[in-house]
Amino acid sequence: MTSGMENLPQICVDTTDAFTATERFGTREEVIRWIKEVRINNKVTVIISRSDTEMGKRGRSNKIIFGCDKGGKHKISDSGTQSASKKCGCPFKIRSTPAKDGSGWKIDVKCGLHNHGLPDRLEGHSFIGRLTTDEKQHVPDLAKRHVAPRNILLSLQDNYPENVTRITQVYKHKSVIQKEIRGPRSEIQHLFKLIEDAGYVYWSRKKDDSEVVREIFWAHPDSVKLLNIFPIVLVMDSTYKTNKYRQPLFEIVGMTSTELTFAVGFAYMESEQTENFCWVLEKLRVVCEERHVSTSDFDR
Ligand SMILES: [Zn+2]
């Protein structure tokens, strides 16, 4: 009797999308609850392979590592038969740690691939929790107001008591809606369209001889007006993990004489090298230009 493992064709199932969460979770327990939810929906047996709690010891940080129960080497018993564990070195791995900015726990899919088949992974099986027509309309209404998926789910359950939708179906429907809105445009093309439609002042630059966008800077005309009235204090900082391209989002905030803040402009940056900052600040200077003219007039 052979183990049978060697004869299996190379299988590869990607569950990256299902386990990708851009939102943050309040606690370790919330992370585990969410993973369990996605796990049930996708019929994947995800296990906690490591859970560390910060205890002041060096090298021990707060984290949870999830793996597939088929991870690790498969054991062949002395008789050559496959052991009950059915491990086949599945590379699936998720890491969850508290975000450095204190916004909560984040989930990183280190590897969403499984090197084995998943049972009954057909769309029809999520049939029980599928959204009705009314419910389908409810999701975009809330999504438009930037309600987090977990709160959309709570709202669905409040409004439709028979609802048994799972969080992954909310995520799925949200991405369907976003794709419908975007049409044939790529995400970046859609961003340009939104920027143009709203009448923003913007610049972008591409990598030499390619269609790859390096930087985008955009500012609302009203912001530019405010900036020219209150040009004294500007606060600038980058925020991360806002997009799948891993581009830092550089934000410029101004302050009025009554100590109220206002958004001046935003930029997606390729990286945080001097050269990238120079390009962005150069554009900021252009929108400040009016002010330059008036101050130099004043000096004279
Ligand atoms: Zn697996």
pLDDT of residue 75: 55
Q: What is the whole-number distance in angstroms between the Cα of residue 135 and the centre of ligand 1? A: 33
Task: Give the model's pLDDT for residue 263.
Answer: 94
What single letter denotes the amino acid at residue 125? Answer: H
Which pLDDT value is given to residue 299?
Answer: 39
Residue 268 near residue 240, CB atoms below 8 Å = no
Whole-number Å distance, alpha carbon 6 to ligand 1 midpoint, is 17
C-alpha to C-alpha distance for 138 and 136, rounded to whole angstroms:
5
Cα of 145 to ligand 1 centre, how many Å? 36
Q: What is the structure's pLDDT at 57?
A: 60
Q: How far is the CA of 114 from the centre of ligand 1 (A)?
A: 4
Residue 105 belongs to what H/E stretch?
strand 105-111
Bridge partners (DSSP) listed for residue 95: 65, 108
Phi, psi angle pair for 196, to nearest 5°: -65, -45
Q: For residue 125, what pLDDT is reported?
A: 42
Separation of 186 CA from ligand 1 center, angstroms?
31
Distance 92 CA to ligand 1 centre (A): 6
Per-residue confidence (pLDDT) for residue 258, from 0 to 100: 93
Q: Cα(248) to centroid of ligand 1, in Å?
A: 32
In this structure, are residues 90 and 114 in contact, taking their beta carbons and an 8 Å threshold?
Answer: yes
Amino acid 273: pLDDT: 93
Domain locations in the chain as residue ranges: 5-121, 124-182, 187-299
Closest listed residue to residue 203, CA positions, set 148, 297, 269: 269
- Please say whether the beta carbons of 280 and 269 come within 8 A: yes
What kind and span of H or E run contains 139? helix 133-144
How far, in Å, from the CA of 49 to the mean position of ligand 1? Answer: 13
Divide the 300 residues of the chain into consecutive groups of 10 and give the mean pLDDT of each group.
48 86 89 89 85 70 88 58 64 92 91 80 50 82 85 85 78 85 87 91 89 91 91 93 88 94 94 94 86 41
The pLDDT, as a whole number, for residue 292 is: 43
pLDDT of amino acid 128: 55
Give the DSSP letter of residue 45: -
Distance 98 CA to ligand 1 centre (A): 25
